[in-house]
Structure 1
Amino acid sequence: MNAVAAPDGRVRVSLPELIALRSRAMRAPAPPVVSRAPRSGQRPGRLHGRGMDYAESRVYQAGDDVRRMDWRLTARSGVAHTKLFQEEREGRLLVLLDTNASMRFGTRVRFKSVQAARVAALAAWYAIRGGDRVGVLSFGAQRQLVKPQGGARGALAVAGAIAAWDAAPVGDDESLSAALQRAGRLMHGASRVLLVSDGFCVDDAARGRMLGLVGKAEVSVLNVADPLEMAEPPPGRYPLAHRGQHYDVTLYGERERAEFARSLGDGRRRLLALASGLNLRHRTIDTTADPLDALVALLGVRKA
């Protein structure tokens, strides 16, 4: 695959595809809305739910309970509104998106960077379906923040930012510990964090930084891997490209194939070891997979 190409959903992010993922999220099982006490160090957020105390009304969002429609405001404004009640806490999801150079790699269907973009966009659509605000923090080649916002505006902001970051030139790499340190300062009240990465950014200091983040929010990890990183390759010749340089890797001997597999799988092993060691929810998908089931498993259940 050639890393310099027009947006096609394979080697470069296609913004229309990220937007179209909304329909997939709306067909998924609805995320539960639960009451939660604020974690240590967090400010209480705006509350909503099915309680008896009316809080406010907002513009109707797909998936809202029609039994909570604010018919008077809808009639006055000409725009559908739904009522919010004082009971349940509005969540905020912050996606940590790995944009390091190692993500610009793929041997099946699409680059890891494109699959990670699909994961982040789908997570945004799924989060707003549950009434959460959603934002994204990029690390690696791109180091920018989209603050959590609610509704379709929030998900569209995430999708647009991801597409813009993917179109930018590849920059310097960033370790996971440095990214987590920034995330800890830029939470903006996020109650949940989803890390999307191939794991090659994991360094020795990442565990300590992750512990600090876990003290502020629920953290889940989704590892994106290429199929070649998940199993020993069959004998053959493998043409590869990296930063404009092209290589031919010949793998016929069992020992060299095993060493090649260990090298490619190192990032995944380090990331999963970090997640398992801290008892974080985690899943792995490859570049051919539909991310929805993994996201529902990670984001569809919340801790009390």
Structure 2
Amino acid sequence: MSAVAPIADGRVHVSLPELIALRSRVARAPAPSVTSRVQRSGQRPSRLHGRGMDYAESRVYQAGDDVRRMDWRLTARSGVAHTKLFQEEREGRLLILLDTNVSMRFGTRTRFKSVQAARAAAMAAWYAVRGADRVGVLAFGGQRQLLRPQGGSRGALAVAGALAAWDALPPGEDESLSAALQRAGRLMHGASRVLLVSDGFAVDAAARGRMLGLVAKAEVAVLTVADPLELSEPPAGRYPFAHRGVHYDVVLQGERQRSDFARSLGEGHRRLDELCDSLGLRHRTLDTSADPLDAVVALLGTARGR
């Protein structure tokens, strides 16, 4: 007997039509502000002087310089031959690093974290291609798959399709963030930016060193997805849970009991926040009932040199 396909309701499972429809929401957001498309090395902008479109500066003429690039005004003013240098235009590439560990399949308000993560990733894809970037996605955790960066609407549609397809598959074994970052470092495919979307429970002791290695190659931003129950202490009451088909109730009454429960549930986003703060990475926290657009724009829409 074949397995029954999950219902793509947009709450427990990702809805592909919704991911595609998010394009119209992104189209109304402020356009990405890009200062240049020069390849980045880590968090520091670099400048490449080549045959691009953006004027960088002028310098004294050197043997072999293209005479068509002569800065005649500065040459006349200084009496010394000068040539113009330009910043080379390069197409930017965004790689979305998506957490698909089993902890992401959890939610008490509106939708699962896994569904919210897919919505945020889809918005990031639409926003990236709007800024003429290529976009790809690398899943880690239960799914360990790569969609190589592609440009234009086709690239964002491919990301949306991959997100929905991967969500419909049964989850595999969990994977640590350090292992995922190591794979990402090998599979960058020229990406100049990386957006990590995770709930933080995959953060391990080795993750900081691996993240440092990734930061040396690309500009890294982090979007932490959290359920509201993970962000604040819950009120007293009975809370029904289900895990791998097993249903059970958690009864929370006393202050100490609720505090310990909140501390345990919030461990993931705290570890990820601490990692980002220690490395000076831009990061935002997104709960499962919020619109991801503001967080995506905040992380990807600021001016950057690449």
> Is the 2:36–2:304 Cα contact (8 Å) retained in structure 1?
no
> Is the 1:108–1:287 Cα contact (8 Å) retained in structure 2?
yes
Q: Which residue of 2 aligns with 1:127?
A: 128
> Is the 1:201–1:267 Cα contact (8 Å) retained in structure 2?
yes
1:187-206 alignment runs, 5 A limit: 187-206=188-207
Q: Which residue of 1 aligns with 2:225?
A: 224
Q: CA deviation at 1:271?
A: 0.4
Secondary structure at 1:106 match in 2? coil
- CA distance in 2 between counterparts of 1:152 and 1:122 reads 12
- CA distance in 2 between counterparts of 1:291 and 1:39 reads 26
Answer 1 or 2: higher relative contact order, Cα 8 Å, separation at least 6: 2
Q: CA deviation at 1:35?
A: 1.6
Structure 2 gap ranges (5+):
56-85
Q: CA deviation at 1:151?
A: 0.2
Distance verdict in 2 for CA 1:31–1:109, change over 3 Å:
same
- CA distance in 2 between counterparts of 1:302 and 1:219 reads 14
- CA distance in 1 between counterparts of 2:145 and 2:158 reads 13
Q: Which residue of 1 aligns with 2:102?
A: 101
Q: Which residue of 2 aligns with 1:215?
A: 216
- CA distance in 2 between counterparts of 1:40 and 1:126 reads 22
1:252-291 alignment runs, 5 A limit: 252-291=253-292
> Is the 1:33–1:49 Cα contact (8 Å) retained in structure 2?
no
Letter in 2 for 1:153: R
> Is the 2:229–2:265 Cα contact (8 Å) retained in structure 1?
yes
Secondary structure at 1:188 match in 2? coil
- TM-score normalised by L of structure 1: 0.84
Letter in 2 for 1:139: F
Q: Which residue of 2 aligns with 1:14?
A: 15
- CA distance in 1 between counterparts of 2:257 and 2:51 reads 57
1:110-259 alignment runs, 5 A limit: 110-259=111-260
Q: CA deviation at 1:244?
A: 1.2
Q: CA deviation at 1:33?
A: 2.5
Q: CA deviation at 1:302?
A: 3.8
Structure 1 gap ranges (5+):
53-84
Say whether residues 1:38 and 2:35 are aligned partners: no
Q: CA deviation at 1:88?
A: 3.1
Q: CA deviation at 1:196?
A: 0.2
* Greater Rg by CA: 2
| Cα shift readout 1:63-101 (whole Å, capped 9, x = no counterpart) | xxxxxxxxxxxxxxxxxxxxxx98533110000000000
- CA distance in 2 between counterparts of 1:131 and 1:246 reads 46
**How many residues are aligned here?**
268
- CA distance in 2 between counterparts of 1:27 and 1:146 reads 26
Q: CA deviation at 1:40?
A: 4.5
Q: Which residue of 2 aligns with 1:28?
A: 29
Sequence identity, in percent?
76
Secondary structure at 2:139 match in 1? strand
Letter in 1 for 2:150: Q
> Is the 1:94–1:187 Cα contact (8 Å) retained in structure 2?
yes
- TM-score normalised by L of structure 2: 0.83
Q: CA deviation at 1:39?
A: 3.6
Secondary structure at 2:39 match in 1? coil
Distance verdict in 2 for CA 1:49–1:261, change over 3 Å:
farther
